[in-house]
A and B are shown apart, each in its own frame.
Chain A
């Protein structure tokens, strides 16, 4: 990595050891590691200045194919708190935590949410794909992408606030206040979009996304989202899947088609070409965009996704 990123971590190391010596006198930021960029942002919202956050899988990264760097391992080993999504989203996490000798506290952000089963079973007809079995096996039948439903984000935020408070009781009030403020922002957002989605007709509530990561969102707003590919980004589509989808688009006259930030856009382009549907824009599923992108934080990610979906659906 670059020299610039190395120096702060050295500094941090220095600060930590300084902290051990003079703990009561100074309140240095608590080192927290989050597994991916969306969680990282949530921790920052709750912890504010009190935490020093590091995300293992950065913006635009794909947690499905993450490979830890030595820096990640070292940062994790120095962290006091590890925030993960759970629901088998980070299959690699246990091994990484062991390898790094991580001894801090852990927060599973999705704890307490109503986990839903694989998306395929809900929205598509039950005529079994060849590769369904694999996917179920991979995620143990649970859809991990819970953060795409604003309701769940509220649960995430509260879990994070509790975790931070246990670790740093002194600032517990502040964490809870930050969390409450953030929850209010999310509720505002939800309140803004829920009626507009509710106003859509059944015909309008259909869309196609290339990565099957919006099951929770679809459930929350009662939408019908179809995907040509399975829930894993590495699953390769069969000709039968694609053919079925094209037929469906033609028969049901779906116009809303989305390419999101980490899945293969070529396949959707082909489907768009074949059905005459214009791609409706980009949805962000597993990662924030870079700071100058369309979804640099979780709130704007949610807003962007809802907005993009709504606009495309209102037009059909």
Chain B
């Protein structure tokens, strides 16, 4: 009975299988990126970058319609430009990375809105905003798989300098010049994953899948490896339960997925062994040393 509840939707419907495959790919790549964003105290940067990408994706949409390639390319160009420019500005002037990023993403967004409103047909951009977990075509699946592969390979490649750049940027700067490239590469990976999220969950929801798993896992483990693994796992569980609840209860899919993650976060916040609220209340006998 329970097994039916879990399996049937996926065995009966191809669109559920596709949604699951897309989510699987996204869950492997976006949460680890989010973990690093969180560790660098850049969680909100993810949100800012998603706004920076939106106009690019929208322009791609205006030029070529609802094509996966055009929207990806547009988003990549807009996101990449914002990341590179704000990186350059913060490195060569007095302004901090947060303020320059804020400046550039706001400019990018305004530019995007301007382009969209002046170029005639106010096509329903809400569909871009919402994405379509339930309508992943072959091109979108390939893209999600490709982005997951690139992200995992890229993260493996820059893992150590990235950790160092987060932990002790001065030390990295003293032993290597790779720091700024690593930082840039990482932000570009984040842009890629946000774009992947656009296709699967829509712009409004894609940041959630990136940030929430890491934020939740932080209440369970203090080990980076476990944090990365656990966040991907939690995201996957949330995606599957989100899809199932959307199927059985008739709730719109992408908010249901993000809300599942939200439930995971709330439980972690309450029960997590590492700084969760309830364990803190329980006074246990202290140790000898």
Contacts and interface: CB of A to CB of B under 8 A. Distances in A.
Direct contact of A and B (CB under 8 A): yes
A114 B147 CA distance: 53
A239 B122 contact: no
B121 A270 contact: no
B118 interface: yes
A242 B18 CA distance: 13
B120 A239 contact: no
B16 A239 contact: yes
Interface in A233-259: 233-243, 246
Contacts of A239: 9, 15-16, 19, 134, 243, 246-247, 250, 253
B66 A62 contact: no
Contacts of A242: 13, 15, 134
Output the residue of B118, B136, B251 with the most chain A CB within 10 A: B251
B289 interface: no
A109 B248 CA distance: 42
Nearest to B68: A266
Given A264-B132, A269-B135, A236 B253 contact: yes
B177 to A, nearest CB: 44
Contacts of A66: 122
B15 A246 contact: yes
Contacts of B120: 58, 60
A262 B123 contact: yes
B13 A264 contact: no
Contact of A67 (B122, B135, B255): B122
Contacts of B15: 239, 242-243, 246, 270-271, 274
A265 interface: yes
Interface in A180-221: none
A65 B252 contact: no
A205 to B, nearest CB: 26
Query: Which of A65, A69, A239, A266 has the most chain B CB atoms inside 10 A of its CB?
Result: A239
A10 to B, nearest CB: 19
Nearest to A266: B135
A157 interface: no
B126 interface: yes
Interface string B99-139: 00000000000000000011011111111001010111100
Interface string B200-242: 0000000000000000000000000000000000000000000
Contact of A65 (B18, B124, B132, B255): B124
Contacts of B66: 264-266
A171 interface: no
A238 B125 contact: no
A64 B62 CA distance: 18
A240 B246 contact: yes
Nearest to A233: B124
B95 interface: no
Given A246-B13, A266-B132, A270-B136, A241 B250 contact: yes
A237 B19 CA distance: 13
B54 to A, nearest CB: 15
Interface string B2-29: 0000000100111110110000000000
Which range contains the number of A residues in contact with the other chain?
35 or more
A51 interface: no
A6 interface: no
Interface string A271-293: 10110000000000000000000
A238 B16 CA distance: 11
A58 B121 CA distance: 7
Interface in A63-107: 64-67, 69
A131 interface: yes
A313 interface: no
A264 B248 contact: no
Nearest to A127: B250
Nearest to A1: B118
Contact of A131 (B134, B248, B252): B252
Contacts of B250: 129-131, 238-241
A301 interface: no
B268 interface: no
A238 B250 CA distance: 5
Contacts of A265: 66
Nearest to B255: A236
Contact of B252 (A236, A262, A264): A236
A268 to B, nearest CB: 8
A240 B247 contact: yes
Given A264-B127, A266-B66, A130 B14 contact: no
Contact of A61 (B121, B253, B254): B121
A47 interface: no
A308 interface: no
Nearest to A69: B117
Interface string A28-71: 00000000000000000000000000000111111011110100
Given A236-B253, A266-B132, A269-B135, A274 B14 contact: yes
Given A264-B124, A273-B14, 13 more contacts: A65-B126, A129-B250, A234-B124, A234-B126, A236-B255, A237-B252, A239-B246, A239-B253, A242-B13, A262-B124, A265-B66, A266-B127, A269-B137
Instruction: Identify the 6 closest CB pairs spanning chains A and B, nearest first.
Output: A240-B250, A266-B135, A239-B247, A236-B252, A239-B246, A60-B121
Interface of A: 1, 57-62, 64-67, 69, 129-131, 233-243, 246, 262-267, 269-271, 273-274
6 contacts: A64-B124, A233-B124, A239-B247, A239-B250, A267-B134, A271-B15
